[in-house]
Chains A and B, each alone.
Chain A
Amino acid sequence: MFVKGVGMTKFGFQEESSRNTIYESVMEALNDAKMSMREIDAVVVSSIEIMSNGERQKHSASMISSLLQIKAPILDVPAGCAGGGTALWTAIKLLKNSSHKNILVIGFDKIVATTTKIITEEILRGGERIYEQAEGMIFPAQNALVAQQYMLKYGATSDDFALVAYKNHQNAFLNPKARFYRKKITMEEIKNSTVVASPLRLFDCSISCNGASSLILSKEPSDIEIIGSAEISDCLSPFEREEMTSLEATKKAAELAYKEADVTPSQIDIAEIHDAFTPLEIISYEDLGFCSPGEGKELIRNGTTKIDGKLPVNTSGGLKAKGHPISPTGIAQVYEIVKQMRGQAGARQIKTPRIGLAHNLGGAGSVATVHILKNLN
């Protein structure tokens, strides 16, 4: 399966309606692919259909039909923060098993449109109802408990998490589509930011945003091929799992994707990793096979994953600093890899990568998708 075109809005606090952000990202993807809407045979869309913003719009698939004036199969596949990755995985499966030639994949959400308290509550609904929601387990708290277990087991420190935040903010500084574009964040600001859920500070948490992202997937060859794709769901709560310091869903999805792509972790030249919270990036280094369990902290300490390192991770700024509008995230990760592969990443361009990996998570590891892309040029 091939990526014909990609598009995304800037991730930020824009007031624009979802209709406008979707339209903008689809238009960019169509222009990028040099295609018309007429060539699209089906659409796979993902949104968490948030109810606390002014749009209060459910039934996204038909809304997309109205907006894009398309009468075709449109599937809505919400999967929390992994919505984008899951939509892409679904589109790949659909394309492989149908007569369709081109599928448009869309992720959109408008999160920042009410008070932080209400947004926090809405996102809390993604946790387990009785054991987590009732205990005040907001998402930062859920990840804080995971981070603490990881620190206790492997000796990682808050300074390691700060290094992740600093690296991703430096990358976002160079990305015009990032929420923190041209916004300088110092290590002092990161280390002295408010504790949100100990040990996690404000700068350990990704920034909620509004936005949309799109991708056109095709059977017709292009310069970028998706050579591996996997999605795995795990149980809802980390406390329920045998192991809290690694994510089984990521490990299994990575294993399947590497196998399908016939590549090994050492062949990955660039990765976009789901850093909704900074410890997740370090844990994911391990789960994706870039290092052994407990060694993730070394990759951030020795600069391996910096933009000029051996394995650049989150050159876009990641969820941390590019922003995290929930469902668009997974497609935006692929957007970054495509731009890097085509040499279109501007100031943050790395040495043209040949193999890239996008890793998208939903919940605290409840869903994971891994996509492996190959640069055919």
Chain B
Amino acid sequence: MIIRWICEKCSKKWIYPIEKCIYCKGPVTKQKGTQMKVIGFTKVTIPSPTHPIIPYNILLLQDEFGNRLPKKTMKDYKIGDVYTEKKSESDDAVAIIKVKYDIFEAIKDALGLLKDVKFDSEEKILIKPSIIAAAYPYQAVNVNPDMLDALIAVLFEYGIKKENVIVAEQALIGSSAADAASKSGALEVCKKRGVAFADISKGPFEKVECDGYEFSIYKEALHRKIINVPIMKTNFQLGISGALENLTRLVDEKTQRDMYYKGLGNILPKLVKALPDVFTIADATNGMQGLGPLASGEPAFLNLIFAGRNAAALDSIFCEISMIKIPPYVKAAGSGINPKKIEVVGNEIDALKNPIKPANPEETPHSDIKVVDYGACPACLNLMYNLTSKMIGLRGSELYVLIGSQFDGKVLEGGERIVAIGDCAIKKMEELKINTIAKIPENLDMVEQIVLMKKLLTTEGTPKITSVDKVKSKMTKLLSRAVR
């Protein structure tokens, strides 16, 4: 489809959405061309960092109104060929749409290209965006509020009633859902559209058993159609966080911790099975690269949206086009799916390939601190991230922070300057009867955690926390409270 925004009064034309004509102040409406013909093409043989696969073709398409549009494709066309977008035939298909300044139309395009996508006007919908921490939209930590807004508008266009839609999410364990929803802009969208926002962490939850594992799943999710709206990001712990990872926050805190403890690759396939009706519309309007999933990652400016019924297939395709390895947990959840055989509509994989910066699994926000992750839960991950972020500006000797619990006694062999952070690692060390390294527990006040971490980072040799350090940290906490 080719869209132009045209002034109804003076016929001035824009390639962007414009609210009102700047000349005659007349209203502007969309002109949508759907009958596209190839009027020109060029085969490009020079690679560039964002278009590394060559040769590729750029078609010059023209619609019934004479509007033109360039379109990249790996296929060969002739002048005069009719250009059409093929609809999907398989249930696992993934639609990928480039957003041409209009997320609303991009979502509609994606839904239109997938087989049998229907919404019943009486249907109850749960939109599950990815909103994990308090961050501004430009940081690409959370779903783009414009994406959320456009999606709700599309649902309304399908006839869904606003009272039948809820937006539900919980932030990473240790973060406030209200703060995250507010700073991300999601709350404002909900207010504007008149739909409710629910904090999943407050429940209620329902026990659901699937393949021998018992989940506590958010009750509303079991009785509504779930529209899974992740933001596609790199993740230093998981490789990527996308459609599958977003589903993990539909369960209670205890289940989340246990899923990570037992390995996402083992439990996620069961969760996907346990959830009744999930459709994913993923936000890569911005997307994240580098040290994601939190604010140390960088916006990737991908300008894409993905849609599909199979979350694992969608995540796999995201990895393919981003030219990063498909993480083991995605492979496990999509058992049997060969990414090369997933049906993709809207755009071709090779034409979209654009390498983004992967996340380095050892990196933390502080250059002197490395992370050794043994399957940390979101709470430990969040604590580690917040704590190491607070160390920025301090110089110290190289320090390793140990998080997660899937390790044995050998983890400390040959290692010096290791600090265990979070309850997963500390609990496991207690089980293994290891008392030789410094520990920072989750339930300690943040001020105390920071004081102890500073001491460990800036002390030479084997880092230790003494009774004096503990007293100092408590005094600092009291002092900071008094000042506050």
List the B side residues contacting A132 at CB < 8 Å: 70
Pick from B41, B45, B69: contact of A131, CB below 8 A. B69
Chain B 455-470 interface residues, beta-carbon cutoff 8 Å to A = none
A131 with B100: CB separation less than 8 A: yes
> Chain A CB within 10 Å — which of B68, B70, B71 has the most?
B70
**Bound: A141/B71 CA distance, A:** 12
B81 to A: closest C-beta gap in Å: 15
Would you give the 0/1 interface string for B56-73, flagging 1 where the beta carbon is closer than 8 Å to chain A?
101010000000111110
B68 with A140: CB separation less than 8 A: no
Judge whether B443 is part of the interface by a CB distance below 8 angstroms. no
Given the known interface contacts A121-B48, A131-B69, the answer about A145 and B40 at a Cβ–Cβ threshold of 8 Å is yes
**Bound: A152/B101 CA distance, A:** 31
List the A side residues contacting B99 at CB < 8 Å: 130
Pick from B15, B43, B44, B60: contact of A138, CB below 8 A. B44
Chain A 274-297 interface residues, beta-carbon cutoff 8 Å to B = none
A131 with B58: CB separation less than 8 A: no
Which size bracket describes the interface of B in this complex? Answer: 20 to 34
List the B side residues contacting A233 at CB < 8 Å: none
A145 with B45: CB separation less than 8 A: no
B49 with A117: CB separation less than 8 A: yes
Judge whether A373 is part of the interface by a CB distance below 8 angstroms. no
B471 to A: closest C-beta gap in Å: 49
A124 with B50: CB separation less than 8 A: yes
Judge whether A14 is part of the interface by a CB distance below 8 angstroms. no
Given the known interface contacts A118-B49, A130-B303, the answer about A135 and B42 at a Cβ–Cβ threshold of 8 Å is no
**Bound: A120/B39 CA distance, A:** 26
A284 to B: closest C-beta gap in Å: 20
Judge whether B51 is part of the interface by a CB distance below 8 angstroms. yes
Judge whether B47 is part of the interface by a CB distance below 8 angstroms. yes
Select from chain B the residue with minimum beta-carbon distance to A116: B46
Judge whether A220 is part of the interface by a CB distance below 8 angstroms. no
Would you give the 0/1 interface string for B70-81, flagging 1 where the beta carbon is closer than 8 Å to chain A?
111000000100
List the B side residues contacting A194 at CB < 8 Å: 45
Judge whether B98 is part of the interface by a CB distance below 8 angstroms. yes
Judge whether A154 is part of the interface by a CB distance below 8 angstroms. no
List the B side residues contacting A116 at CB < 8 Å: 46
A112 to B: closest C-beta gap in Å: 15
B321 to A: closest C-beta gap in Å: 12
**Bound: A128/B15 CA distance, A:** 10
Select from chain B the residue with minimum beta-carbon distance to A119: B48
B42 with A197: CB separation less than 8 A: yes
Select from chain A the residue with minimum beta-carbon distance to B61: A239
Q: Would you give 12 A-B contacts (Cβ < 8 Å), ordered by A?
A: A124-B48, A131-B70, A135-B70, A135-B71, A136-B56, A136-B58, A137-B70, A141-B58, A148-B41, A149-B39, A194-B45, A197-B46
- Nearest 9 A/B pairs, CB to CB: A136-B51, A144-B42, A239-B68, A135-B72, A120-B48, A121-B48, A198-B43, A197-B42, A135-B70
Given contacts A124-B48, A145-B42, 16 further A-B contacts (CB under 8 A): A116-B46, A120-B46, A121-B49, A132-B70, A133-B50, A134-B303, A136-B51, A136-B72, A141-B44, A145-B41, A148-B40, A149-B39, A149-B40, A196-B45, A197-B44, A198-B41
